Chains A and B, each alone.
Chain A
Amino acid sequence: MRHYEIVAVIHPDQHSRAGEMAERYKKIIAEGGGVVHRFEDWGLRELAYPLKKQKRAQYILFNIECGAQTLGALEEDFRFSEAVMRTLVVRRERAVSGDSPVIKKIAEEKEAARMKAEESAREAAKAEAAPAAKEGTDKESPSAKPAKSAKPGGEKGTVAKPAVKGKEDKDDKDAKEAKEAKEGKKRGRAAKEADEGDKTLKAPRAKSRVRRPRAADEGDDDGDDGGDE
């Protein structure tokens, strides 16, 4: 009996059947005398690149303890299942049961979304309460406030963001190209400067090499989705 970690990428069209499939795999494992130490359903996630022309896919994770035959049966099931686009099977040294980083992040995002919703609800309530109190004195300011508080709650995901992100994209790309050009020059000089051992130049260079383009790349994807839908 060995420990394995299995991640299966399931076609989004079979998204609704994921639970059913998971049950079937659990059954296969149980029949082979195996144990499921951890099961996680990550739901539909955005893919970093298209798989079978799909932009999203359903992920499930298993941490199991089973024999070679059971694993073979599972793998065969994956191979002949149309719904399973990809699987990764990794051997683990021991049973893993804690929450994975993925599920933690999903929970965090949900929590953040909830907090935001609560906050915007509170703001809206305030905005409603404000005009009632100030009705006689100010006419303009209460009417301006609700408009502001309504935006982050309602329109954020749909209309306002993609447009802004698109602009940022271009700026970021320009900035990135400029940065890359600079880095290229710097690296050429790097060897010479290393001999001289210039303290001040070395430290920032190490950082700049690793700087992330995350905002730009993700923005790209978002923009595309927005255009499609």
Chain B
Amino acid sequence: MAFRRRPPVRKKPRGNARGMFRKKPRCPFAIAGVSEIDYKDVDLLSRYLRDDWKIAPAEANNVSARMQRQLTRAVKRARFLAFLPYTRRHHWGDE
């Protein structure tokens, strides 16, 4: 007996209009090919700080856990050397 083949069911593309299955963006350091974060690179570090000089959470920048740990260490070293402030409210003694 011959059957007519059922047309194949097309799967819907992953994710719908509401973005339920949004793919997580890759870590910016992975994209840039950076494997080691230098505490001396203030411009780089300050990109991952908040307005109040706190370290931004990893989710905010899609930084991977491994790089976030490195980043944190680098920021803390940079702060120790006064490359970066600890807070917005450092006392300069002349204000």
Contact = CB atoms under 8 A, between A and B. Distances in A.
Interface of A: 7, 9, 47-51, 53, 55, 57, 59, 61, 86, 88, 90, 100-102, 105, 176, 179-180, 196-199, 202, 206, 209-214, 217, 224, 228
B47 A101 contact: no
A206 B61 contact: yes
A206 B49 contact: no
B94 to A, nearest CB: 7
A49 B22 contact: no
Contacts of B48: 210
Contacts of B44: 101
B19 A50 contact: no
B44 to A, nearest CB: 7
A57 B22 CA distance: 48
Contacts of B62: 206
Nearest to A100: B40
Given A7-B81, A9-B81, A206-B62, A224 B18 contact: no
B90 interface: yes
Interface string B36-53: 001111111011111101
A217 B88 contact: yes
B8 interface: no
11 contacts: A48-B84, A49-B82, A49-B85, A49-B90, A197-B18, A209-B50, A210-B47, A211-B51, A212-B49, A214-B46, A224-B92
A7 B82 CA distance: 12
B47 A212 contact: yes
A48 B85 contact: yes
A179 B82 CA distance: 27
Nearest to A217: B88
Q: Which 3 A-B pairs have the closest CB atoms?
A: A49-B90, A101-B41, A199-B19
